[in-house]
Structure 1
Amino acid sequence: MLAIITSPGVLVQNGTPSRAIIQALLNISAAGSAVGVTSNLSKPAWFDDAFKGSKVKFIKTDARQNGSVIKEIAKQLNIDPYNVLVLAGKSEDMQMAKNGRAILIAAGWSTDRTIRALGIQVSDAAELEALVSLTHGWTGHWWFEGEKPKYRARALADLSGYGRDVTATQQNFARKLTATVKSGGPQLTALTLLASRSLLIDGVYEVENLLWGVYPSSQVSTGGDDEVLSDFTHRLRTTVSLARFAKRDEPLFIRHTASEKRSLNRGADRTDPTDQITSMHLNPWYKSRLRGRNVIIVDDCTTHGLSFGVAAAFLAAGGASSVTGIALGKFGNTMKYFDIVINSDPFKPIEADQFESAPCVFFAGENDPRAQQSLITLIP
């Protein structure tokens, strides 16, 4: 079961209650989700007439910003806070969602700059209904999750059956993902929501000193934050993290030399980290800012898991406390765990003799079959 919580101001456009948004909430309620409109002010005069005959409730509460109303609603409905969606129109709504550990959705018609900068947005009533419907049907968690001594790994969906040729499939999926991230719209919004909900199930709000980053592409960095996954990662951060530590145009990793695109070279040893390590380094901007941080690294897809092992080695050398690698898709059952130690300054280029790597081993983990087809369906 889901609960949808919003405030009266979100339902008013140009000084008048929006019939389209009200009808969307009525439809969502009729479909089985709990819907509530909350405020620390009295119930609007138009509310009873707008929601007559429905189960939509008005909830008057003080200090909404502390999130207690979210926790109370979740308790009454016997659901977890990550099954509560908050449609936010102003900063107080955002604070209510974050402090209540709910999923935060921005009303795209809001004029509040803080709200317009949030990651998950709906532009109109139809998109709101579609997003709620998607969330209602998403009962899974990560397709894959595993824990190892130096880092943990997560993958949103299994893409093993998506075509027979893994190499061609990986290229195809990467192109589709890139297009989705660049074009935005409902698909990107839905992708962000699925990843956000899985992070909330993991208790990401309780993790202190978070830092978010993107594993770099094989191309030389241009000096800006232009990786195709950067915007997606910032969307995740604003949705599920209380932290504000993240700087635009300062990527965590710098690719100083183009690396071999591993998916294109079938004959190469795809578990050898040398090319990856010697072609990149940590951004010096983070040299005094990385120590003690718990870092989440996002990559589009993984097969052998080398990117997570390499990222973990750099981040450990830079002083990070923990590393979690998140891939949107995982191919096959060949993911490895890499125990790599960098013996030089990770904020400068690394030579081939400046790191040590133990033989990689199988990265065992747990699978949740409910998540298997999510991305394939989402990005056709």
Structure 2
Amino acid sequence: MLSSHRVPEPRGSTFVGVTRRIVLPTIKILLLAAIAVAAVRLAFGGDDDESAAGGDPAVPSVEIVQPEVPASIGTVVNTVEVEAVITSDAPTPIRATDAGEVTVFLADPGDIVEEGDPLVEVVFEEEGEPTTETDDEGNEVEVPGEPVRRFRTIEAATAGTVGEYDVLVGETVVVGDTLGSIATGGFTVSGSLSAEQQYRLVSGPTSAEVQARGGPAPFACTELSTGRSASGDDGGGGAEGGDGGAAPPEDPMAPDQGGGGSSTAISCTVPPDVTVFDGLAATMVIEAGRAENVLVVPVTAVEGAFETGNVWVPGPDGEPVETPVTLGLTDGELVEVREGLAEGDLILEFVPGVADEEELAPDMMGQAG
């Protein structure tokens, strides 16, 4: 009969097993924890003793530096672009300049007339000169004179093509009545100005260069004028809204006065020799001044909208000092500084407290007439 017995394991194998299962994982965890603590200390400034002593050079720090620019000599061209539309001029009404009965039309519908040409004849009666007679009793009495028929001619107020008449022969009219109309065949370019653009046009330019989309080469548009227009009121493109100069600008920073959505129109007359059509889109390019060899700074550095503004000059202690300046022309990127700075003076490139350059609205900068 066979007998079996268990061979004892070596004493060293038990120790190796414990080391692999317990000791090595524990050491690994401790090492990882130490690395994590060191990383946190490096990222967030170390201990208080190192901070008090000036800190470790490896500890990151943040310092905000405000960019500066010098005031320099340059050229500013104040050019304003306005999106516009070309429209045919409304017919000019034929107004009765005398009261009476229409007797004859001296120009037929479709006739081309010049300013001052006769259009309509009217007749009216006036009392004749009174006479003195002696009655049966020998008394002198005044006798009214016989009525006298007077003829008057109503003339064309402008050149153009005569339209259909609104009255008939034999009809009685009074002064101011509309008898018909004359189509001038002219065209007007008109657009709408923002408040910022109004400030840039206070010098009152009298002409603009117009580019009609899909039309002829850019042409000069004369009789430039501006005038206030409002929804449902005297819109009219502003062709008659002024004396040829720019209207006084409104304060763009003023609160809305509830005027029903009013705006300022700008318009000019298309030359007769330029071929355009009603409804064409166009761009008006208006040059309202040029300043050469003047002191300029970026518009982003200036707080202000018109004539006066503020810039910030770095002070001896590093703090910016608000400095008033007098403004001139601007092209939307640079603005002329007439007083308050000298060439080479350093100023902050951006107005303090303005988070985004776009919030500065460069078009706000205006021209000091």
Report the TM range for the smaller structure's normalisation: under 0.3
Which structure has the greater CA radius of gyration?
A: 2
Counting strand residues as a fraction of each chain, which structure ranks higher? 2
TM score, norm. by length of structure 1 = 0.21
Counting helix residues as a fraction of each chain, which structure ranks higher? 1
More contact order relative to length (CA 8 Å, sep ≥ 6): 2
TM score, norm. by length of structure 2 = 0.21
